[in-house]
A = this chain, B = another copy of it.
Amino acid sequence: MSRRTRKGRRTKPAAGVLPAGPAYIKRKLSFFDPLDEEQLLKIDEQVDWMLENIGFAFRDDPESLRIWKKAGVKMDGDKIFADAVWVREQCAKAPSEFTQLARNPERTVSIGGNNQVFAPIYGAPFVRDLEGGRRYATFDDFQKLVKLTSMHPNLHHSGLVIAEPTDIPVSKRHLDMVYAHMTLGDKPHLGAITEKSRAQDSVDMAEILHGKDTMDSSVVIMANVNTNSPLLIDRVVSEAIQVYSSRGQAVVITPFILTGAMGPVSTAAAIAQAIAEVMITVAFGQLVKPGAPFVMGNFLSSMSLKSGAPTFGMPEPVLSNYIIGQMARRLGLPLRCGGSLTASKIEDAQAAYESADSMHSTAIAGSHFTLHAAGWLEGGLATGFEKLIMDADRLGSYQKILNGLDLSDDEFARDAYTEVEPGGHFLGSAHTMRHYQTAFYDATLSNSENVESWEEGGSKDMRRRAYEKWNSMLDNYELPAMDPATKEALDDFVARRKHELPDAWY
């Protein structure tokens, strides 16, 4: 069924199959720290001022207020006014680096430290592809997108809602999505959060997949939740933390701040607000379970001056990526930020310019876990099949950049200079022969032919090439092997829960 050898390596890749990549990026390139100590302290000061004076509401979840009350933190109604030093102490309890196990041990990732992990788009109700156009996403689309993510060497993590399978009732959708990630691929993935019982179902399925002992000692599933910016942490967040953190699993806390709407219209304020919202939420998580792993999410967007519509890939959030990277390292919390973001409706130059600027800064800034690294179109409303494959192709380039500059003796090629005369060339030098095959990243969707060859080949633009690529990948998809007993247990769980749950479409 699979072409894998016992050691898990493919004997020979089929046409359309990309060679496997590393499980995640172990960065060697230095970090970019744009702010000096005085500037950092200004942001810290604003964060502390917000924590102590503005306060954050934990709403519609009496249990979360009981937890806060028990901790003796100053409250006013559902608003928490926490001592900033205490909040920082709590955040310091969360690990700066943790491992998320994949069911295939070769795909296990490390999040934090010098590691960087790329995951696809999350949450789009629509999909778009070159032939099929734009449409509501179905479970069939969802499965295809999970397969492509599973196959792509530059995506390390499978995410969760690569697109909303809108043909499945909302009440049951999470079961099919988590099941698809667990069975169609073997990379690490996220669990559901939209309601407490759905979070619990995800955790229960992870326990079936990984076993209770492994889950007791390791992170095997993560959740991604948005605070309700500004200043509000609603029940979805606090309940997800109670489910995931209490079980020692990881939670990504992401304030989505469209500056000017969910935060002030300035980047400095939005960064500080985002950090403060994450910190109070991580502190809450440490009350639920000290040492519970968290990722500091940050998702700032700018807006069009003409219409107020959100914009992406623009300089203000790009700059904030660089700043927030430094702030996260200082705080010692793993970071999620940025992604390949765009407001464009299709995979045109706008989509690529905006995605590249956004993702370039995300990568260099040191985002440890990057959701939306591939596939995002239309401000996140649509997942593009071509966009997924195009972005993922470029992710390989960032991976190479993050490997840093090799300064070993052989890289200086002194022997080659003794072979080549002024005005000559190095094509046949021994050094070139030794290194030729690994010297350059092979961007499979970039065309470097001369114009005549490109025209003879049909003048295909990148979008067309991506369309052909993902179709050919799906033709070559192979289901990764799974222990039959585990699969049966998952099947039974999903069947039982689907039977128990009513059909609900909202």
- A-side interface residues toward B, CB under 8 Å? 29-30, 32-36, 39, 42-43, 46, 49-50, 54, 56-57, 59, 79, 134, 228, 230-232, 234, 259-269, 272, 302-311, 313-316, 318-319, 323, 343-357, 360-361, 364, 378-379, 381-382, 390, 394, 397-401, 404-407, 410-414, 416-418, 420-427, 429, 431-432, 435-437, 439-443, 445-451, 454, 459, 461-463
Contacts and interface: CB of A to CB of B under 8 A. Distances in A.
A482 B231 CA distance: 58
Given A266-B412, A268-B412, A350-B352, A427 B381 contact: no
17 contacts: A230-B417, A230-B424, A231-B420, A261-B426, A265-B431, A265-B436, A266-B431, A302-B440, A311-B443, A313-B446, A316-B400, A319-B401, A343-B447, A353-B390, A357-B394, A364-B364, A379-B448
A439 B309 contact: no
Nearest to A54: B417
Closest 5 CB pairs of A and B: A356-B356, A352-B352, A264-B413, A315-B400, A349-B352
A260 B432 contact: yes
A100 to B, nearest CB: 26
B411 A268 contact: yes
Interface-centre pick from A57, A263, A410 (highest chain B CB count, 10 A) = A263
A228 to B, nearest CB: 5
A361 to B, nearest CB: 7
Contacts of A228: 422-423
Contacts of A57: 422-423
A495 to B, nearest CB: 38
Contacts of A463: 348-349
B439 A260 contact: yes
Contacts of A315: 397-401, 441
A311 to B, nearest CB: 5
B42 A35 contact: no
B349 A461 contact: yes
Interface-centre pick from A33, A234, A446 (highest chain B CB count, 10 A) = A446
Contact of A442 (B234, B305, B360, B378): B305
A422 B353 CA distance: 35
Given A265-B435, A360-B360, A260 B416 contact: no
B59 A422 contact: yes
Contacts of A309: 448-450
Given A231-B422, A232-B422, A311-B446, 10 more contacts: A29-B319, A59-B422, A230-B420, A231-B417, A231-B421, A261-B426, A268-B406, A314-B441, A348-B352, A352-B356
A439 B348 contact: no
Contact of A449 (B307, B412, B445): B307
B449 A230 contact: no
A363 to B, nearest CB: 10
A150 to B, nearest CB: 23
A59 B421 CA distance: 13
Contacts of A232: 422-423
A410 B268 CA distance: 10
Given A350-B446, A356-B356, A411 B345 contact: no
Given A405-B319, A412-B266, A451 B30 contact: no
A407 B39 CA distance: 7
Contact of A404 (B34, B347, B360): B34
Contacts of A272: 412
A263 to B, nearest CB: 6
B345 A397 contact: no
A261 B427 contact: yes
